[in-house]
Structure 1
Amino acid sequence: MTPKALLDYLVYFHAKRDYFECHEVLEEYWKSLDSDQNRDVWVGLIQIAVGLYHQRRGNLAGAKKMLTAALTQLAPTELEQLGFAGDALRNEISKRVLDIEAGMSYTDLNLPLHLELAARCEKRCAAEGIHWLSATDFSDTFLIHKHKLRDRSDVIAERNRRLTKRNQSE
């Protein structure tokens, strides 16, 4: 069974090109897993999204670091079990690292999926009225710079709540 978080990730990745949200949904899922479950594949997928987010913003060093790290986390057999074309995905990421080293600018990347998973994603996009395999809208500054522009009031409130609680217990 495909976790909802993976479908969310793939829709954000391929239809919205919102790599920041890819990171958010998979990080939440990854953290919910028991420590004895294989979590490397989830970390690798998160690193792909973060790497592409960095590359699109021109942070080539950060992009290379994240994508190279992703390759160490992503085993082809685990990717296959999730519905990815495992070897093809790893080859695409390796090629992207070489492109970054050559100073090439960002282009959208489509992760190689098996037909069944791709069809499920396309169906979900159709239901949401969005286009599967869309292109990045570079005029959307919020999408490009989301880590700086998003509303963090809930994160700050939670951080302050924990700090108050810790101070009260001391």
Structure 2
Amino acid sequence: MNYPDEYIQYLVEFHGRRDYFECHEILEEYWKEHPPLRRDSVWVGLIQIAVGLYHYRRGNHAGAARTLVKARQILTKRAEETAELGLDVFALADSLDDYIQRIHANIPYESLMLPITDSELSSICENECKRQSLIWGDKSNLTDSQLIHRHTMRDRSDIIEERNKQLQMRRQK
């Protein structure tokens, strides 16, 4: 199977570095560049898994559960597309259900392995992890504040500038 490079990058970040914020960034950019921009795209479902786990790891249980429920709905609705990405849809749904229950029970975060069924895909990702000196399937480093709180540490000046520009344009109308 031929997978987009961005999907491979997502899986490497997800299972190697556990940088869920970067997973979100990678797939959101890919999703935006490949219309149609459906809110129920399989890419959005995968983004939501990363976002949900990012929130869970940070202790935002309400946001984590809500986001993982949405991810589960999308990926099961788009089961054929999800399976085409080398994922076991039923095992993924079960894992998401388990994590949602864990969140509601206030069980501490643990790293998730996506159920990849394509051994060639797994091999590609594992080799890429080795190339980057990462360990495929390694657990999150819960002491790395840069990893855990990444969204609060990024430079958002370009986003703020764009919002202000849009606000000015609306005021002029």
TM-score > 0.5 by shorter chain: yes
Q: In the alignment, which residue of structure 2 is the partner of 1:111?
A: 114
Aligned AA (2:65): K
> What CA distance in whole angstroms lies between the structure 2 residues aligned with 1:12 and 1:72?
23
Cα deviation per residue 1:96-117 (whole Å; 9 max; x = unaligned)?
A: 1111122211011110112121
> What CA distance in whole angstroms lies between the structure 2 residues aligned with 1:32 and 1:18?
22
Of residues 137, 141, 146 in structure 2, which corresponds to 1:142? Answer: 146
Which runs of 5 or more structure 2 residues have no equivalent in the other structure?
A: none
Matches within 5 A, 1:1-170: 1-35=2-36, 40-74=41-75, 75-114=78-117, 115-160=119-164, 166=169
Q: How many residue pairs align between the two structures? A: 169
* RMSD of Structure 2 on Structure 1 (CA): 2.1
> What CA distance in whole angstroms lies between the structure 1 residues aligned with 2:104 and 2:37?
36
Which runs of 5 or more structure 1 residues have no equivalent in the other structure?
A: none
Counting aligned pairs with the same residue, the percent is 45
Distance 1:36 1:54, change over 3 A: closer
Moved over 6 A (4+): none
> What CA distance in whole angstroms lies between the structure 2 residues aligned with 1:7 and 1:151?
26
The answer (yes or no) to whether the contact 1:33–1:39 under 8 Å persists in 2 is no
Q: Give 1:156 shift.
A: 3.4
Q: Give 1:36 shift.
A: 7.6
Q: Give 1:151 shift.
A: 2.0
Q: Give 1:154 shift.
A: 3.5
Aligned AA (2:63): G
> What CA distance in whole angstroms lies between the structure 2 residues aligned with 1:118 and 1:158?
39
